[in-house]
Amino acid sequence: MNAIDGIKAGRFIVVGRVGMDLSPTHQARIEDAAEMTVAMGGSSANIAAGLVKLGLSADLLTCVSDDAVGRYCLTQLDNYGVGRSHVRTIQGEERTSLAVYETRVEDHQSVIYRNNAADFQITVADVEGVDYSQFSALITAGTVFAADPSREAAFRAFELAKAAGIPIIFDVDYRPYSWPSAAVAADVLSRAGALSDVIVGNDEEFGFMAGHIDKGLDKARELATTSAQIVVYKMGQNGAVTFADGVEIPTGIYPVDAIKPTGAGDSFMAGFLAALAQGRPMRDAILRGSACASIVVAQPGCAPAMPDTDQLEMFLLDHPGHT
C-alpha cells in the first residue's frame, strides 16, 4: 500500500511505550516541588492519543506492569479512546516508565525512570498476535528498538506490516539513556529507518544515524531516494525540510511562548498524519503538525495538551503566519 493511502485510511497500530508523567506545579524546580500534576506519557501513547483527538483510530501495542502505575496507564488509554486490546500486563520486576519533568524552558530538568522497563518486554508473540489487515499503518518510535525482546519484536512487526501491505511510520526518537551504547543505537536505528516508508526525526537524530550532525540532511535525502516515501527532517526553531515525491519542501514554525520543551515531537507526528489523512497537501500537513507542536509546548502536560480538531483550527486562525 502507498504510504499516503494507508494514512488516509486512518486506522493505526502504534508500537511502543505508555507511562506516567509527573510535573511540579507552578513551574517549580523538581527539587523545590510541593505538588505534582500527573498525566499519561510515553511517546507512542502520546502519538496515539493525539491521533484519536484529531478524529482517527489508534490502538497501542505495549506492556505495562501489574501495579497501580500500570493500571493508571490502562485507565488513561481508555479515557483517551486509544485501543488497548494489544496491551499486555506483566508480572515480575519490570515497571512501567515514569517521567518527572518541569514545566519551564529555562534550565529545564527531566528525570526518566526506565530501569527494567515494562515496555521492553514486548515479545515476538505479542506482535504476531495482531491482525495487521485490520489496520492501515504501523507507527513506532525508536525507543522500542533499544533493548530485547522489544527490539526483535519490533523488527518482526515491521515484517508482518510489510506482509500485510501496510506502511511503516518511524519516529527516530533517539533517547541515549535507553541504549547500551551509541554504536548499537546508530546501527539499529539505521536498520529500522531503511525499512520504513515514512521517517520523522530531527537534525541531531539524522546526524547521529549518519555519523555526524553535519551529515544529517544528506542522510535524510538519501533515505528519501533509496527506501522511504516521505522523510521529515526537523530543525527545531528553524522549521523542517520534507522530502516527498522527489521534491524538497521547506517549512517554518508557529512561534509561541513555550513553557516546556517536551511533547512537541509526538504532537507533530499526530497532527502531520491527521492532516495527510484528511487529504491535505504535504506542505499543509507539515505546517499543521508544526502547529500541533507549538500548541503542546505552550501548555502543561503532553497527552493532555494534544489538541483536538477544534483547538487546532482555532490556533491556526489566531496564528495565520509562520516563520
What does the pLDDT average to over 17-32? 92
Q: Give the pLDDT confidence score for residue 143 in this predicted structure.
A: 94
Residue 125 sits in a domain of what CATH number?
A: 3.40.1190.20
The closest alpha carbon to 144, from 17, 306, 12, 317, belongs to: 17
Q: What is the pLDDT of residues 179-230, one digit of tens each?
A: 999 899 999 999 999 999 999 999 999 998 888 889 999 999 999 999 999 9
194 lies in some domain: yes
Among the residues of the chain, which ranges form H helices?
3-9, 43-53, 68-80, 124-128, 150-164, 182-194, 203-210, 216-226, 264-277, 282-297, 309-318
Q: Give the pLDDT confidence score for residue 213 in this predicted structure.
A: 85
70 lies in some domain: no
Using the predicted structure, report yes or no on whether residue 145 has a pLDDT greater than 80: yes
Name the average pLDDT for the chain: 95
What's the one-letter identity of residue 221? Answer: R
Residue 24, preceding peptide bond in cis (omega within 30° of 0): no
- Asked if 46 contacts 171 with a C-beta cutoff of 8 angstroms, the reply is no
33 lies in some domain: no
Q: Give the pLDDT confidence score for residue 172 in this predicted structure.
A: 96
22 lies in some domain: no
| C-alpha to C-alpha distances, 208 to 75, 172, 191, nearest whole angstrom | 36, 10, 13
Q: Give the pLDDT confidence score for residue 185 in this predicted structure.
A: 92
Number of domains in the chain: 1
What does the pLDDT average to over 13-24? 96
Using the predicted structure, report yes or no on whether residue 323 has a pLDDT greater than 80: no
Q: Give the pLDDT confidence score for residue 27 in this predicted structure.
A: 81
Show the domain range for 283.
Answer: 3-14+44-62+121-317
82 lies in some domain: no
pLDDT band for position 118 (50/70/90)?
very high
305 lies in some domain: yes
Q: Supply φ then ψ for residue 115, to 5 degrees.
A: -70, 125
What's the one-letter identity of residue 312? Answer: L
186 lies in some domain: yes
Q: Give the pLDDT confidence score for residue 37 in this predicted structure.
A: 94
Q: Give the pLDDT confidence score for residue 211 in this predicted structure.
A: 85
Q: What is the pLDDT of residues 245-292, one digit of tens each?
A: 999 999 999 999 998 989 999 999 999 999 999 999 999 999 999 999
79 lies in some domain: no
